[in-house]
Amino acid sequence: MDRIYFQDKQHLNKFFTAVKENSLLTWREIANNLITTRAMLDNYRSGNILLSEERFNRLLNLADASKISYFLRLIQKKDQN
């Protein structure tokens, strides 16, 4: 499965902000939705670790539906090692 990343840190931040604002969940609840820890979610948010395509899609489903195509244009894929 591919890894997802944003080339621009601002786009990464916008993505996570959109997820948070639309879902009305806490960061811990979002992490639980991804079946991960809050610390790991923070690594994804900072760009230190790339999102798996599966986790990216879970987050995408929490974002406003009208912004999905916008975010899909901003991502790049990298083969999982």
Give yes or no for a contact between 31 and 41, defined as CB atoms under 8 angstroms apart.
yes
pLDDT score for 1: 79
* Per-residue CA distances from 2 to 20, 42, 44, 53 (Å): 24, 20, 15, 6
List the single range of 8-12, 18-22, 77-81 with lowest mean pLDDT: 77-81
pLDDT score for 80: 75
Give yes or no for a contact between 50 and 5, defined as CB atoms under 8 angstroms apart.
yes
Which domains are present in the chain? 3-78 (1.10.260.40)
39-67 confidence digits (pLDDT tens):
999 999 999 999 999 999 999 999 999 99
Q: What is the mean pLDDT of the chain?
A: 94
Whole-structure pTM value: 0.91
Whose tokens are 């406003």? That residue is 64
